[in-house]
Chain A
């Protein structure tokens, strides 16, 4: 570029004098607002309990959750057995904590698969109009099934296992994620900064990666945090119905299914995993609400 020396422009001085000096990175500002948000902090706290239990499972629950000890069956929670024991005398503390690990692993895997394939499908459908109709009709067909019914159908066909549960939940939720990404991409594609990139000669890949996807992340992150909660809840439902991880592997769903028979005599067996599930879902929902308020203010509920 061979631009001549710019002369001073006195008329511009009033306009440019207030150019800020302190750097404010948008990501840093978002983080600071998040950590001032009460709901978000509460959600992080609740979900943090479950996450810590899942990560620290081998340390805080050293007793094998599948070890039978008929002598100790139906012990109520006390000093020896923190959460009591079940009908086979297994430590409920160990079972619930290892169940938490499985729930977190499944939730995280479903979220990851959604982040990858939901973004991919949504971005392709939203950006390339020629692909939109085909992709979205398949999407609509999958979304026409009630979520849990479709998940039951997929696991019933594939057979019960942890991996199949992840697969089933991914199939159920990816169309929903793809729709959310697609709708953001359709709006962003028409932004003038995208036009400016086209005018500069940018290719599709650069436009998607630099201009569209970074700006489509906010609603996606919010969606994924709620999705984590749905995935944990659906996994518990599938295990409760006997379509999840195969017993004796402990999951909150199958502990509750077994505990259901002894609800009146040993109510702790079904209550404790239920409470764990409630804490997880509530924590993730609060966290999602906080993220939504900060990242996507247009969706904030009017108060």
Chain B
């Protein structure tokens, strides 16, 4: 399978202002720092990591909602970094996003029909019967009745709003959809419905998903491959089964070990990894390997040299000195 979306050395530094009025200085917050990532056509790539590790920023960079500081993005065979707003508009129909907060993602002053119709209008449709029919079709696709079109967002529940958000993302018939924690804000029972809906839609429409989440069991359910991020870096990428059964990076091991299991006595012994402390600040990330401050297997080299992303097993990429000794 070929890569639909490909990031090379993708970097985003946010400027953070500090200091007094007279002695102002800016510090770079390294939200995403040199990420290489391929998303294959038709797959779901899960992206996991702690809050603040840059996974949302990465998702938004890939569809150019945020301008990258450095690096390159290729989409469907075209480099899209550096394209003007106008040139970018051609590609926008093929890449969409679903947001976490079903309340903030819908304009409270627009009816559901207007919300779903807007992307069509931007891409040259007129507000006529044919366009309204497309909106009705999109509503049906996400399992909402046609009468929902005339309602306003405040009249819906969280799950229903999330369906409206999905309909808006799909109405342009995109290839690639960034799902930015689409179920994190929903009740568990509704989460399952939305996850199943996304899976059904992917099969029917041949979509490619980047599924951002911090809930590892949801990611395990929906993903084909999983990427693990820590402090602006991708530390491990592999097939879902490889990640969950044989995680290589100590951080991934700790994440997997932290997933609650029904029968704790069944948990494999000896592999249990615990990490202490908080995620360091992205304003001043640790030298060498960024995980060395919390890693249980830290070695002298980890403090000095940053490990590169290598491929110790086929299709299993890890950035760790343990796996790839220098």
Contacts and interface: CB of A to CB of B under 8 A. Distances in A.
Contacts of A195: 60, 65, 97, 99
Interface residues of A, number: 37
Interface string A63-95: 000000000000000000000000000000000
Interface string A1-37: 1111011010110111011110111100000000000
A12 B192 CA distance: 10
A24 B152 contact: yes
A137 to B, nearest CB: 13
A199 B65 contact: yes
B118 A19 contact: no
A214 B109 contact: yes
A177 to B, nearest CB: 21
Contacts of B165: 196
Nearest to A213: B109
B157 A15 contact: yes
B143 A192 contact: no
A197 interface: yes
Contacts, number: 127
Contacts of B106: 193
Given A192-B101, A196-B105, A201 B147 contact: no
B18 interface: no
B166 to A, nearest CB: 11
A285 to B, nearest CB: 27
A192 B104 contact: yes
B144 A19 contact: yes
A300 interface: no
B150 A201 contact: no
Given A199-B96, A201-B119, A16 B160 contact: yes
Contacts of A26: 108-109, 152, 154
Contact of B200 (A9, A192, A200, A203): A9
Interface in A254-290: none
B109 A201 contact: no
Nearest to A206: B122
B123 A6 contact: no
B200 A16 contact: no
A9 B118 contact: no
B104 A202 contact: no
B160 A15 contact: yes
A191 interface: yes
A18 B99 contact: no
A6 B144 CA distance: 11
A192 B144 CA distance: 22
A303 to B, nearest CB: 25
A202 B157 CA distance: 27
A24 B144 CA distance: 18
A198 interface: yes
A189 to B, nearest CB: 12
30 contacts: A1-B137, A3-B137, A3-B141, A12-B193, A14-B193, A15-B157, A15-B160, A16-B144, A19-B148, A19-B155, A20-B151, A23-B150, A25-B152, A26-B154, A191-B104, A192-B105, A193-B105, A193-B115, A195-B99, A196-B165, A197-B122, A198-B65, A199-B92, A200-B118, A201-B89, A201-B122, A202-B118, A202-B122, A215-B108, A215-B109
Which 6 pairs across A and B sit closest by C-beta, in order of nearness?
A12-B143, A200-B119, A201-B92, A192-B105, A201-B89, A192-B99
